[in-house]
Structure formats: structure tokens, C-alpha cells
Structure 1
Amino acid sequence: MTEAAEMENALSLERFARYVAWAGGDRHRALELYTLNTQLSEALYTPLQVLELALRNRIHTIMSAAYGERWFDTAELLQAPHQREQVQGALAELAKDNKEPLSGRVVAALTFSFWTAMVSPIYENLWRSTLSAIAVKPDGKRLSRKHLSRPLTPIRLLRNRIAHHEPILHWDLRKHHAIMLEMTSWLSPPAARWCVRVDRFPAIYPSDGYQLAPDNEQLS
């Protein structure tokens, strides 16, 4: 049995079938594409992590300055039901573990979807009054809420695909990688500089790109 056949059995026919389709039926090429998908997913973890932490910390810093470090306990500040549920879930987990519900612990327990929601349309008024201070362009100008909300939606979806070991090769990964670095630079220039220094994505992404046989899933 070939290595490709062994991996097909190990991964399940359904999961490996996507790569076989992209490879036009060539299972050796399918394994190469699966390997590349895994390597790129690993490489994207760094810019994704740094962006998420920069967004989280900037929002918490600005909201704490305006409303106190327990701002997330103020129900009327949180417009999305899933955000209020996340806060209550975090508090419940801390209580279950007999840990003091320090603000830092609660903030750390909130997911990326909580923080991306903070720049969604329902927070337009809060953006104008408070949240616009989280990010700034290199020339010192403030950004609109949409500068963050529009690219964050696909980035959140890409992050979730990586977290669930899903195929990502059909995404425009170079575009999203560049957007992640740019957004991080708006939120925290020091974090962006560190990310660029340790970022492995440019070395992993093939210099001449890669070709996939067409399938039915829309490119992102």
C-alpha cells in the first residue's frame, strides 16, 4: 500500500477526497496538497494569534479606560446575546474551578467571535464614542469601523477552518495573510513587527503558487 493510500485510510475517505479532487485524481499529488494545507495552517497560526491578542487587548484597554476594567459585566454595553452568554459562561467556569473572577481571566476566556463582534454594525455608536481609539493608521488617522469589521469576518472563518483541520488551499491565503499583518500594525505596531520577524508563512507558501483542479466550493 502506498503512503498516499495509507494516509487516505488514516484521514477518512471523505476528508481526503477533497484533495484527490483538487489533484485531478492523482493521489500522490493529493498527499502533497494535504501536506501543504497542514504546513500553511501551521504557519498562519502566528499571525492569527497575534491579531487576535492585539484586538482583544486593545479593546479591553480602551473599554477599561472608559467604563472600568469590569466593563463586560455591564449588560447594556454588550449588544450581542452570544457575548453576554460567553461572559456568563466564563464566570461559571471560573467559579467551578474555584478561581477568583479577575477581569484578566474573564477576558482571556472570551473567544475571537466575542472580540470581532465588538466591531460589528451594532457597535457603530460605541465605535464613534469610544472604540475607534483601538486602532490607528501609520499616518496617525483613525479608521472607520468597517476597516476592521469587513476583513475580520473572513479571517474569523479562516481561523475556524484551521482550528477544525479543514482545507484552506482554495482561499486566497496571501491576501488574508497580508490583511492580518496590516490590521495588527493598526492595533499594535510592536506586535506587528514581532510577527513579521517570526512569521513562517512567506517561507512556506510556494513561490510560484499552486494549482487546484476546480471544484464546487466558492473561493474566499
Structure 2
Amino acid sequence: MSAARGSHWFDDDYLQFYWTVQKAVATAKRRAGSRYSPGKVIAELTFDTWRFLLARRYKTTLWPIVFRGLPDLAAEGRGQEDFEGQVAVIYGLRNRCAHHEPSVKSDPLAETAQLDTFDSALSQVARRIDSDAALWIDKNSRIPALRSNRPNSLI
């Protein structure tokens, strides 16, 4: 994204960010310190901000820039809605974990289906952003081992 609009894309008036994103950028700049770099500001943006930058309201301004950076979406005939949907699944998982909500269900098939959805979304989004990072995640994830240790029935 930074190559298309410059490294300070978060300050670009063309993108017409809503006040929530403007507020998030201001907070990120404050956290980054008075001599911030664009990379530090980007690192300080919350997952909430990244998630909502994919909203439909940015379809004509921000999304075309993002889309150019994700060429396999076009090759697969997928678009913003597909990518945003996958990020929303990850966002939901992140919120469940952050609020200590259980991922274990009494129905192992329902649990498996839900965890497969989370795993697929994470893998696809990571692969689209950085294939090397996706390989690293797959190689180092403890999730498959943890899932294989799940008892077949829960009391």
C-alpha cells in the first residue's frame, strides 16, 4: 500500500478515512513518539483498525490499492468481500481469545468445523500477505498438536 500512496498513506486525504480511523492513526502516532517513522505508526495500529480498513466504505479509495498488493486474489477471481470475510473470521477468533471465551464445544464435529474455518482463514490471509510468513506459521504452529490431543467426548 505504501508504494502506491507514499509511506505516509495514513495521512493521505484522498483515502477519506472516517473519524474512527483518523482517531486510531492519531493514537498510533502518539504511541510511536514525537519522532515517529511510518513503520512505527503502522506497527502501532490496532487489529481493529486494520480490520475496518477493509470495510465497503473504502471500496473505491483504499481497496484498489490493497488489491494491487494481493495479486493472487485477482488470479483466483476473488475480491474484497472474500478477503474481508476471511479477516473477519480471524478478527472473531482474536476477540474470542482476548475475552477468554471457550473454543471447546460439546459437539466435536461442530468444534472441528469451527476450528477448521479459523485455521483456513488464517492460512489464506497469511499466504496472501506474505507466503514466507504463512509457511513459518504452518511450520511453527502448535495448534495441530493441541487439536489432536482433544478427547473425543467431554464430560
For Structure 1 versus Structure 2, the TM-score category normalised by the shorter chain is 0.7 to 0.9
Q: Is it true that 1:94 corresponds to 2:32 in the alignment?
A: yes
Q: 1:206 to 1:80 in 2, by over 3 A?
A: farther
Percent identical pairs in the alignment equals: 24
CA displacement at 1:128 relative to structure 2: 5.5
Which sections of structure 1, spanning at least 5 residues, go unmatched? 1-61, 214-220
Instruction: Describe the superposition over 1:34-62 as per-residue Cα deviations: whole angstroms up to 9, x where unpaired.
Output: xxxxxxxxxxxxxxxxxxxxxxxxxxxx2
What CA RMSD, in Å, does the superposition of the two structures yield over aligned residues?
A: 2.6
Q: How far apart are 1:182 and its partner, in Å?
A: 1.9
- SS at 2:61's partner residue? helix
Among 25, 36, 43, the alignment partner of 1:108 is 43
Q: Does 1:122 align with 2:48?
A: no
Instruction: State which of 107, 117, 121 in structure 2 corresponds to 1:179.
Output: 121
Distance in 2 separating the partners of 1:139 and 1:149 = 14
Determine which structure has more spread, i.e. the larger CA radius of gyration: 1
1:158 is matched with: 93
Relative distance call for 1:75 and 1:89 in structure 2 (3 A) is: farther
* Counterpart mapping for 1:41-52 below 5 A: none
Q: Which residue type is aligned with residue 156 of structure 1?
A: Y
- Residue 136 of structure 1, CA deviation: 3.4
Flag structure 2 segments of 5+ consecutive residues without an equivalent.
106-110
Deviations 1:168-207 (A, max 9, x none): 2246112211221122112221111111111111111036
Change (3 A) 1:139 1:133: closer
Give the secondary-structure state (helix, strand or coil) at the position aligned to 2:72: coil
Aligned amino acid, residue 109 of structure 1: E
**Alpha-carbon offset, residue 75 of structure 1:** 4.1
Q: What's the CA shift for 1:125?
A: 1.1
2:77 is aligned with 1:135: no
Aligned length: 148
Highest RCO, 1 vs 2 (Cα 8 Å, sep ≥ 6): 1
Pick from 180, 202, 207 the counterpart of residue 144 of structure 2. Answer: 202
The TM-score with structure 1 as length reference comes to: 0.58
**TM-score when normalising by structure 2:** 0.80
Given candidates 191, 206, 212, the residue that maps to 2:133 is 191
Number of the residue aligned with 1:25: none
